[in-house]
């Protein structure tokens, strides 16, 4: 949504903060999860060649090879220059999974604004579990059996809360995703004001159309992803009621259904206003 | 408009005026030409446990009792002191009477004094009213006509059943010839003293306190069972405001114009801790200043709210206008249903100090608003345990700060409500056991600050500009 504001540019999940150099990041993901490079490849294809096709993704690979020694900061700066004067929205979920990634981001962009967008752990965990199970079904893998969605949720928020302490007042703002989506007309203008960007009916309307992003679709076969597949398949914003979730109760997404949220998870969730 | 500086303050009472177990000045007010200071001490039984809870502990309970007796930890009970700033002398004008349990054990009837006000009713002589927390049973209401002799007046359990657990009131608030209060605290329930919660989070009213004719003028918990008590009552712009404790969602503030038939029509003007959530679970203080109501908030029970694992969580300050709009003065910037709230002072929560638990009292004095704060480090509940997820750097910072804490509290001032300046950040560098300013009172003889300490007894500080400070700095 934010990325569709005329003064902003929403990136795909470029995952550049996973390493200091482009080569390091590419090497890492080629080894553990090549699809994590889809976002970067599609971005380069779009910005350097004006489209995201199999040919331009191949060209993006060719473009990347002589730049493997670039620092990831330089790559960010290159992308930022390409979309200037629009400001980058970087939202790779990986960024919050390790403190070192957050620190790298702060080092690169000490004046960046940080929006901590939260979601209740129960639907979050359910979504993660479901997504991995679907992938397992397609690929014949069994990753879901070892998945710990609650641990992922907790680690992400622990890292953010820890990181927040080093920021001066006003540089980070937190909002529950449930609140935002229940009143985007009320909250998006506040985020605009906080970022110091234009806030008009036109900008608000633009943000309600994430499907207008050049990245709001599945990519070509050699880089199909780069964001949440659910968003890529159905990028339109559709207002809908959000069911209230509870921390109490068995975790329906786990098998066998014997577990409940840990005390540590509950405490973080309570601090974020969830019950 | 003279701003008080650190050097304008001097200590006029220390070491609990001879009783080191009197650690906190819970109530303080000015009347006539004297400053009244209400204090108290520990509960009747060790660890704040009830008699039944101790009995359930069996031999351990017996040992706790014996240890208490050996250490002569006898509760001293409530006391009320009067300070004459012109003479510089203190006089004890009330001490809790001794009562017997019928089995040879005597103890002070009142635990401490938490509420006080000056009130003139249409039906009586008026005078000074004091709410004394009870060691057992219900609180007591005392009145003095001459400012010296205090006598019990009935309150008939505020109209509640005879066995209602209402050991304390924290607010006595006069408005339009009527007096308002709400019970806070529990002696029963989970078996130990609970200072902040109540079975009866209800606002009560009387226009005849001498006869004890109290009646409920609000729905219980304002109709929201997650409100566990009504901790603060204050008058602002002709309306009565009530601040709640709500550990689930964050504090609420309600208001009524006290018009029409009771129960009055109350309107919720702040909720969810002003958008901060349960990290702002309790209203700690409220005071009117330059057309706005300033509201301090903190995490309840100083770290026992289940959130201290991520603490210390510093407190906030917001200001509310008569039209129910509000602004964030000190705290975390955030989007809210009422619009974007950015800390106007530029100060993050805790006045920019993560160890500042938040404002615990507010008072206007000679055109300046003062906020007395409490320091987290007196409580170690936020220190990371072995399973802590916190980063090594942050854990080290917490432990270093804790180890380096030498006591003290912060006192801040502002002339416009936006620009805040510290008067002191270390409790005037005095007693390392003092961790908070609990009460602030403006008087013709200066601003008085009553403290809270972990041991050694309370202090009272007097702040007066140099020209007015020559008298009464003894003690």
Per-residue pLDDT tens for A194-220? 999 999 999 999 999 999 999 999 999
Mean pLDDT (chain B, rounded): 90
Tell me how far apart the alpha carbons of residues A103 and A116 are, in angstroms, rounded to a whole number: 15
Give domain status of residue B439, yes or no. Answer: yes
Check whether B472 has a pLDDT greater than 70.
Answer: no
Q: A191 contacts in B (CB within 8 Å)?
A: 335, 340
Tokens of B17: 């005026």
Give domain status of residue B304, yes or no. Answer: yes
Q: A154 contacts in B (CB within 8 Å)?
A: 389
Give domain status of residue B312, yes or no. Answer: yes
Check whether B191 has a pLDDT greater than 80.
Answer: no
Q: Do A270 and B394 touch (CB under 8 A)?
A: no
pLDDT score recorded for residue A150: 94
Q: Do B278 and A273 touch (CB under 8 A)?
A: yes
How is residue B198 annotated by DSSP?
-
Q: For chain B, what percent of residues have pLDDT higher than 70? A: 93
| Conformation bin of residue A200: beta by default, left when phi > 0, alpha when psi is -120 to 50 | beta
Q: Are B303 and B311 in contact (CB under 8 A)?
A: yes
pLDDT band at B393 (very low <50, low <70, confident <90, very high): confident
Give domain status of residue B343, yes or no. Answer: yes
Range of the domain at B321: 1-20+281-475
Tell me if chain A has a CB within 8 Å of the CB of B352. Answer: yes
Give domain status of residue B176, yes or no. Answer: no
3-state helix, strand, coil in chain B (%, to 5): 15, 40, 45
pLDDT band at B260 (very low <50, low <70, confident <90, very high): very high
**A128: closest CA among A156, A100, A105?**
A156
Per-residue pLDDT tens for B330-369? 999 999 999 999 999 999 999 999 899 999 999 999 999 9
Per-residue pLDDT tens for A40-50? 999 999 999 99
From the list A186, A271, A275, which residue is nearest B310 (CB)? A271
pLDDT score recorded for residue A166: 86
Tell me how far apart the alpha carbons of residues B219 and B182 are, in angstroms, rounded to a whole number: 12
Where are the alpha helices (H) located in chain A, listed in sequence order?
A: 22-32, 38-49, 54-64, 72-83, 99-108, 121-139, 149-164, 177-182, 184-195, 201-207, 229-233, 263-271
Q: Do A162 and B394 touch (CB under 8 A)?
A: yes
pLDDT band at B196 (very low <50, low <70, confident <90, very high): confident
Where are the alpha helices (H) located in B382-451, listed in sequence order?
A: 392-404
A251 Cβ partners below 8 Å, 6+ apart? A122, A125, A150, A257, A259, A260, A261
Between A174 and A135, the higher pLDDT residue: A174
Check whether B285 has a pLDDT greater than 70.
Answer: yes
Per-residue pLDDT tens for B419-442? 999 999 999 988 889 999 999 999
From the list A168, A193, A271, which residue is nearest B340 (CB)? A193
Q: For chain A, what percent of residues have pLDDT higher than 70? A: 99
Burial bucket for residue A224 (CB in 10 Å: 0-12, 13-18, 19+): middle
The total of structural domains in chain B comes to 1
pLDDT score recorded for residue B467: 59
Give domain status of residue B203, yes or no. Answer: no
pLDDT score recorded for residue B473: 43
Please state, in angstroms and as integers, the Cα–Cα distance from residue A72 to each residue in A65, A104, B4, following that order.
14, 10, 53
From the list A158, A174, A268, which residue is nearest B334 (CB)? A174
Give domain status of residue B408, yes or no. Answer: yes
Check whether B383 has a pLDDT greater than 70.
Answer: yes
Tell me if chain A has a CB within 8 Å of the CB of B285. Answer: no
Check whether B21 has a pLDDT greater than 70.
Answer: yes
pLDDT band at B405 (very low <50, low <70, confident <90, very high): confident
B304, B309, B310, B312: which to substitute to probe chain A, counting the most A Cβ within 10 Å?
Answer: B310
Please state, in angstroms and as integers, the Cα–Cα distance from residue B234 to each residue in A20, B182, B240, B255, B362, following that order.
56, 12, 6, 10, 12
What is the interface pTM, i.e. ipTM, of the complex? 0.87
Closest approach of A192 to chain B, Cα-based (Å):
10
Tell me if chain A has a CB within 8 Å of the CB of B395. Answer: no
Tell me how far apart the alpha carbons of residues B352 and B425 are, in angstroms, rounded to a whole number: 12
pLDDT band at B460 (very low <50, low <70, confident <90, very high): very high
Give domain status of residue B135, yes or no. Answer: no
Closest approach of B279 to chain A, Cα-based (Å):
6
Tokens of B389: 């997820």
B335, B350, B351, B420: which to substitute to probe chain A, counting the most A Cβ within 10 Å?
Answer: B335
Q: Are B353 and B411 in contact (CB under 8 A)?
A: no
For the ranges A25-39, B100-114, B380-394, B399-413, which has the lowest average pLDDT?
B380-394
pLDDT score recorded for residue B73: 65
Q: Do A183 and B337 touch (CB under 8 A)?
A: yes
pLDDT score recorded for residue B394: 79
Half-sphere exposure (Cβ direction) of A210: Cα atoms closer than 13 Å: 19
Between A271 and B246, the higher pLDDT residue: B246
Tokens of A75: 């790559």
pLDDT band at B399 (very low <50, low <70, confident <90, very high): confident
pLDDT score recorded for residue B475: 38
| Contacts with A, B 290-349, CB within 8 Å | 306-307, 309-310, 332-337, 339-340, 342-343, 346-348
């Amino acid at each position: 949504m934010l990325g569709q504001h005329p003064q902003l540019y929403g990136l795909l999940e470029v995952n550049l903060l996973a390493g200091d150099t482009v080569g390091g990041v590419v090497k890492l993901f080629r080894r553990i999860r090549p699809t994590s490079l889809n976002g970067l490849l599609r971005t380069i294809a779009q910005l350097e060649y004006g489209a995201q096709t199999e040919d331009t993704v191949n060209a993006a690979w060719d473009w990347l090879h002589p730049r493997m020694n670039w620092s990831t900061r330089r790559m960010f700066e290159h992308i930022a220059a390409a979309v200037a004067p629009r400001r980058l929205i970087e939202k790779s979920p990986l960024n919050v999974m390790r403190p070192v990634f957050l620190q790298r981001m702060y080092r690169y962009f000490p004046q960046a604004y940080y929006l901590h967008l939260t979601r209740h752990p129960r639907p979050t965990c359910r979504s993660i579990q479901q997504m991995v199970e679907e992938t397992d079904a397609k690929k014949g893998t069994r990753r879901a059996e070892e998945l710990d969605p609650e641990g992922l949720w907790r680690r992400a928020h622990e890292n953010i809360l820890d990181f927040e302490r080093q920021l001066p007042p006003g540089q980070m703002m937190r909002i529950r995703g449930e609140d935002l989506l229940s009143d985007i007309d009320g909250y998006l203008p506040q985020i605009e004001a906080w970022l110091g960007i234009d806030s008009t009916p036109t900008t608000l309307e633009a943000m309600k159309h994430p499907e207008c992003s050049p990245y709001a679709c599945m990519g070509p076969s050699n880089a199909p992803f780069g964001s949440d597949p659910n968003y890529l398949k159905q990028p339109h914003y559709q207002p809908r009621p959000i069911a209230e979730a509870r921390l109490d109760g068995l975790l329906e997404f786990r098998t066998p259904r014997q577990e409940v949220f840990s005390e540590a998870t509950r405490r973080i969730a309570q601090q974020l206003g969830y019950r | 408009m003279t701003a008080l500086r650190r050097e304008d303050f001097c200590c006029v009472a220390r070491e609990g005026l001879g009783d080191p177990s009197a650690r906190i000045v819970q109530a303080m007010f000015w009347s006539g030409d004297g400053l009244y200071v209400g204090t108290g001490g520990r509960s009747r039984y060790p660890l704040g446990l009830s008699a039944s809870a101790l009995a359930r502990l069996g031999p351990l309970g017996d040992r706790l009792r014996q240890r208490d007796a050996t250490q002569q930890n006898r509760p001293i009970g409530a006391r009320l002191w009067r300070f004459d700033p012109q003479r510089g002398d203190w006089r004890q004008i009330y001490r809790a009477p001794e009562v017997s349990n019928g089995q040879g054990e005597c103890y002070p009837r009142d635990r401490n004094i938490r509420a006080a006000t000056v009130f003139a009713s249409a039906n009586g002589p008026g005078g000074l009213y004091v709410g004394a927390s009870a060691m057992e049973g219900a609180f007591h209401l005392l009145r003095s006509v001459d400012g010296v002799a205090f006598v019990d007046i009935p309150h008939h359990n505020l109209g509640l059943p005879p066995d209602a657990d209402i050991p304390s009131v924290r607010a006595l608030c006069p408005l339009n010839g009527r007096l308002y209060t709400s019970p806070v605290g529990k002696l029963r329930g989970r078996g130990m003293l609970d200072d902040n919660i109540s079975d009866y989070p209800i606002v009560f009213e009387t226009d005849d306190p001498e006869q004890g004719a109290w009646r409920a003028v609000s729905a219980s918990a304002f109709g929201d069972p997650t409100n566990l008590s009504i901790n603060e009552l204050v008058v602002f712009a002709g309306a009565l405001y009530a601040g709640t404790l709500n550990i689930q969602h964050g504090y609420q503030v309600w208001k009524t114009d006290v018009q029409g038939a009771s129960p009055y029509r109350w309107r919720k003007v702040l909720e969810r801790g002003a958008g901060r959530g349960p990290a702002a679970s309790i209203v700690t203080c409220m005071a009117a200043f330059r057309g706005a109501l300033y509201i301090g908030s903190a995490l309840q029970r100083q770290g026992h709210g289940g959130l201290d694992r991520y603490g210390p969580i510093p407190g906030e300050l917001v200001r509310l206008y008569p039209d129910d709009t509000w602004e964030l003065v000190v705290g975390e910037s955030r989007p809210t249903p009422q619009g974007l709230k950015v800390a106007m002072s530029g100060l993050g929560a805790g006045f920019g100090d993560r160890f500042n638990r938040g404002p615990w009292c507010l008072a206007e004095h000679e055109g300046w608003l003062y906020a007395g704060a409490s320091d987290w480090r007196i409580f170690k509940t936020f220190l990371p345990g072995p399973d802590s997820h916190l980063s090594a750097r942050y854990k080290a910072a917490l432990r270093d700060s804790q180890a380096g804490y030498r006591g003290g509290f912060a006192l801040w001032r502002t002339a416009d409500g936006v620009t805040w300046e510290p008067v002191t950040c270390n409790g005037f560098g005095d007693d390392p056991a003092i961790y908070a300013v609990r009460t602030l009172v403006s008087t013709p003889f200066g601003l008085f600050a009553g403290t809270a300490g972990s041991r050694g007894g309370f202090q009272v500080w007097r702040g007066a500009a140099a020209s007015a400070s020559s008298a009464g700095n003894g003690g």
